[in-house]
Amino acid sequence: MEGKLGPTYSPDPEEYLRIGRVRTIPHDQLVLHPSSPLVRPQVAAPEDLQIMALPHNAAVPTGNSRSNKKSTVRISLLQMTCSDNTEENLRRTEQKVREAAEQGADIVCLQELFHMPYPCQQEDHRQFDLAEPIPGPTTERLAKIAADLKIVLVASLFERRSAGLYHNTAAVLDGNAGTVGIYRKMHIPDDPSYYEKFYFTPGDLGFRSFATSRAQVGVCVCWDQWFPEAARITTLSGAEIIFYPTAIGWLPEDKEPYGQSQWSAWETMLRSHAIANGVFVAAPNRVGREGRIEFWGASVIVDPNGNVLTRGTHDQEEIVTAECHLPQIDATRTHWPFLRDRRIDAYGPLERRFLDLTP
């Protein structure tokens, strides 16, 4: 029996697990930032965007096979502005991480290249001076905080791997286990004011997830989020939560005609990854104007049914937090068994750039 389809949200995962259905919220209650012309109820949950819910009589497992890990994990995303003072940015980030931990966060994820202005708006060789090795001074400093607070911390950095070899890299730091791994951004954009190919070598570690003391954590970075293959492979590696540290925003000439559509497309992709893979998805985005870019914030956490658990504003610094009940992953996948029904024998053409017509 299929679940009811409709443009609904589930802001309370505990209620979802308790009664086995999604509690609906009227569209007119979904305006999170009334002063912004870019958040409208009819766009926040368009009628043609169908959100899956479990059937009302779905059996939801109460136990789990996750050893002694907590079933419910509280995650926080830091949505922040950045100045030209990297030390001040880092100090403020440390303060916000501690604040999130005081509020009960188990995992904290920082935005893309979190402690510097986004460096890729021009092709400028001086920007390479912002890079550092991993491990290095910033990861050592953050690892100490993670250890002090007993949290997992995901941090996006400008990595200097060797002379002339740089990556856009996320480090996963576990307060109970130290650095558990890194992910190097695989998809590198080259768009106006996002000239990342000048700076970053594509990642060579593949799509991966990491066993932490709180959850199996997958990480992709920003531009990766437009590619369903990245989310799929990260899920197949065991990820329960996929984090997307992000730096995305509007150019002045684009905001009025395309701004709403651009933001909506970004969030829709994140929700689609959650639905297609039956995982939690979380994306912290920076906020504020830097150079020509107005970063649109709206950091978001999505459950395995694609429901928005929480979303940040477009123009304010904040800690965006939600609780993720991890047994919901199994409940969702057993009622919507997309992983079971994959035809892995038929996907060979995905290894080709394009399926050219032949005579």
* Residues taking part in catalysis: 112, 185, 222
Listed in order, strand segments (DSSP E) in 163-279 are 165-174, 178-184, 190-191, 194-195, 209-211, 216-219, 241-243, 249-250
Count of H helices and E strands in the chain? 7, 19
d(CA 210, CA 219): 9
Q: 249 forms bridges with which residues in the sheet?
A: 295
| Cα(7)–Cα(5) distance, integer angstroms | 7
CA 127 – CA 142 distance, rounded (Å): 22
Task: Sort residue 278 into left (φ over 0), alpha (ψ -120 to 50) or beta.
Answer: left
Task: Give the angle 190-194-197 at the CA atoms, nearest 5°.
Answer: 40
DSSP E strands in 15-140: the ranges are 51-52, 72-79, 107-109
Tell me the pairing of strands 194-195 and 190-191: antiparallel
